[in-house]
């Protein structure tokens, strides 16, 4: 039996060892982590709905109505009226024929690619796509071709090599860099090559677009140009789970063939009820998206005045590139000493040599919170 201890020790020596922090408060800008009061800039709760009182009340009412667990997979007895209503509301929100709920974005991505493609087919992906898209391609048995991040010429070259059924999968907003995929150009390439375009909009939905409909609204793209949309509910929506939206034929195919749908217990119905509430808030309170834009603009101005050069990102995800894992950990530790929580992101989450602080904003952050962050950043060695 393999001795695992040397691998763990090597991870420590390479500054790649990880441990979970213990959160002792609701998910909000001011938190208690491992017993210490901190100002958090490390959550994906972009709209500040994870601890919203209205969403929590909908959750409580959902538990009173449905209990704490779904008890079974969707295709057994786990699909409640609350699940059905949420799917219908998500379909309407995204402008699609149907939507299908999953327990996580990871499982949703696995579902789509493994159900639509197999041996003899081809998946094309951006090098910085989320790990779940990469794993889905590998598990499908299809050939996986990847292209340099954001390089449209490279994407076209890979498409020209593809055979069988073809699917190009891409993040709408890249989770560690915060930049946007050029979806109009990719959609045109896919049209020319008779290729599915799948958009993982986990970090775009709720954040981008006047109505919060995400990357597709931002680029004004229709259903025919982007036939497969995946969105998660644990970020801007403030709850948990994920969904795939598309044509009736696509959703019915996933119901019949996607193993991560067929063989997984459904999310608790109470989560569906809470998400129905957050979906309504997300659409009605556009000020939350406006506030995010204000925070990002103020942060860019403040970071520039301190001499930091930031990669191009207009989203709440703002990477501060340190380079080495050791330096990223040092920066994160120095911020923590000042009461500011920002996670150090290291390989394999990001490519070697690009370890960073991943600073994320929430609509709940105040100007005072932002000033605390900038004041702490001023003390970082460069």
Which is catalytic among the residues 140, 175, 278, 313? 175
Catalytic residue among 79, 166, 235, 369: 235
Tokens of 244: 């795939």
Query: Which among 271, 210, 203, 236 has a CA at the least distance from the CA of 363?
Result: 236
What is the token pair recorded at 254? 């996933």
CB of 129 closer than 8 Å to CB of 83: no
Q: Which residue of the set 74, 79, 130, 203 is catalytic?
A: 203
Antiparallel, parallel or unpaired: β 196-200 and 228-232: parallel
Q: What angle do CA 223, 228, 234 make, to 5 degrees?
A: 115
Is 175 a residue of the active site?
A: yes
* CA 132-134-140 angle, 5° bins: 95
Q: What single-letter DSSP state applies at residue 117?
A: -
What is the biggest distance separating any 2 CA atoms in the chain, rounded to whole angstroms?
58
> Which one-letter DSSP state was computed for residue 78?
I
Separation CA 371–CA 236 (nearest Å)? 23
Reply yes or no on whether 324 is catalytic: no
Q: What proportions of the chain, in percent to the nearest 5, are helix, strand and coil?
A: 40, 20, 40
Contact 296, 315 (CB under 8 A): yes
Residue with tokens 């207009």: 314
- Cα 146 from chain centroid (whole Å): 20
Closest CA to 328 of 307, 313, 349: 349
- Report H helices in 162-306: 183-192, 215-219, 248-257, 259-262, 269-284, 287-305
Q: Check if 369 is active-site.
A: no
Upper half-sphere CA count for residue 201 (Cβ side, 13 Å) = 30
Q: With CA atoms as reference, report the closest residue to 107 among 205, 201, 215, 243.
A: 243
Q: How far is CA 317 from CA 34, 149, 226, in A?
A: 24, 17, 24
Positions marked active-site:
175, 203, 235
């Amino acid at each position: 039996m393999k001795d695992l201890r040397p691998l763990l020790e090597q991870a420590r020596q390479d500054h790649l060892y990880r441990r979970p922090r213990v959160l002792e408060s609701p998910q909000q800008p001011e938190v208690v982590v491992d017993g210490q009061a901190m100002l958090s800039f490390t959550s994906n709760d972009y709209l500040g709905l994870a601890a919203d009182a209205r969403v929590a009340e909908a959750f409580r009412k959902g538990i009173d109505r449905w209990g704490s667990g779904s008890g079974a997979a969707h295709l057994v007895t786990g699909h409640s009226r609350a699940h059905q209503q949420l799917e219908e509301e998500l379909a309407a929100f995204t402008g699609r024929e149907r939507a299908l709920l999953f327990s996580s974005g990871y499982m949703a991505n696995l579902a789509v690619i493994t159900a639509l493609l197999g041996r003899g087919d081809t998946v094309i992906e951006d090098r910085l796509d989320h790990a779940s898209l990469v794993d889905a391609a590998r598990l499908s048995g299809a050939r996986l071709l990847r292209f340099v991040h954001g390089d449209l010429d490279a994407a076209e070259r890979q498409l020209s090599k593809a055979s069988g059924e073809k699917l190009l999968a891409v993040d709408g907003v890249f989770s560690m860099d915060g930049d946007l995929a050029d979806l109009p150009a990719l959609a045109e390439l896919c049209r020319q090559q008779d290729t599915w375009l799948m958009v993982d909009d986990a970090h775009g939905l709720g954040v981008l677009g006047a109505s919060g409909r995400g990357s597709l609204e931002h680029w004004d793209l229709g259903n025919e140009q982007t036939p497969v949309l995946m969105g998660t509910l644990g970020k801007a929506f403030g709850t948990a789970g994920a969904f795939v939206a598309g044509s009736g034929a696509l959703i019915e195919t996933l119901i019949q063939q996607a193993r991560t749908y067929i063989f997984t217990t459904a999310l608790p119905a109470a989560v569906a009820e809470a998400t129905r509430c957050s979906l309504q808030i997300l659409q009605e309170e556009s000020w939350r998206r406006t506030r995010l834009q204000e925070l990002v603009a103020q942060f860019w101005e403040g970071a520039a005045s301190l001499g930091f050069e930031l990669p191009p990102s207009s989203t709440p995800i703002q990477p501060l590139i340190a380079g080495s894992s050791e330096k990223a950990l040092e920066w994160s530790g120095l911020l923590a000493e000042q009461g500011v929580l920002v996670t150090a992101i290291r390989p394999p989450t990001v490519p070697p040599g690009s370890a960073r602080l991943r600073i994320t904003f929430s609509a709940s952050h105040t100007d005072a919170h932002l000033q605390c962050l900038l004041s702490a950043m001023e003390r970082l060695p460069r």
